[in-house]
Chain A
Amino acid sequence: AQTVTQSQPEMSVQEAETVTLSCTYDTSESDYYLFWYKQPPSRQMILVIRQEAYKQQNATENRFSVNFQKAAKSFSLKISDSQLGDAAMYFCAYSEPSGAGSYQLTFGKGTKLSVIP
């Protein structure tokens, strides 16, 4: 079974600074997807960024970017110019097509990010 590991239970960053959240995963597949989701306190989970394994180019979304190292099975998230609204739980997730057509997500345990004013 695929596993996703987030080794940093908690991180903090000064407002306007840059922070990197780590994620590693284990799979024997070559076709898969990786995601970072953000879950603010008592609010729904929202997608931050998505990466397709067959694409070598790292995904970027405004202040958010990833460092995708396929051989190392590493998928870190960099948040630049951190803002108070970035404070949340961040989950790394993995997905691959199943025989039934499901793209169920396998999540890590999450990293709680605090932003210091």
Chain B
Amino acid sequence: DTGVSQNPRHKITKRGQNVTFRCDPISEHNRLYWYRQTLGQGPEFLTYFQNEAQLEKSRLLSDRFSAERPKGSFSTLEIQRTEQGDSAMYLCASSLPTSAKNIQYFGAGTRLSVL
């Protein structure tokens, strides 16, 4: 168990460019979440996967955002035509199949800076 891994840790891009982040959850965790955290705020929910199915999306997830989880393992979050307002920390979390504990384990995040 090596924890939730996120890559890259930092990404600097120019406005209008596309970026993609990767999240590798803890093995055997079938639930995967993406959150966004802006400076001075708590994380906000973006989307949820159970295995490979994307079952819930927040209103924060505009059309420029797309997330995938092929084969129910790692997940990617892509932002197209980035805007300065997209600058934030993007956090990934995973949890076990059973709801009994409902504990989410977080990765260290990808910090995005849009210039």
Contacts and interface: CB of A to CB of B under 8 A. Distances in A.
Given A107-B42, A107-B44, A108-B42, A101 B106 contact: no
Interface bracket on B = 20 to 34
Interface centre among A33, A50, A91, A107 (most CB of B within 10 A): A107
A46 to B, nearest CB: 7
A14 interface: no
A82 B93 CA distance: 28
A105 B56 contact: no
Interface residues of A, number: 26
Contact of B40 (A104, A107, A109): A109
Given A45-B91, A105-B104, A100 B45 contact: no
Given A33-B102, A45-B91, A102 B42 contact: no
A91 B89 CA distance: 15
Given A43-B108, A44-B107, A109-B42, A103 B102 contact: yes
Interface centre among A35, A46, A101, A108 (most CB of B within 10 A): A101
Given A50-B101, A110-B42, 5 more contacts: A35-B103, A37-B106, A105-B43, A107-B44, A108-B42
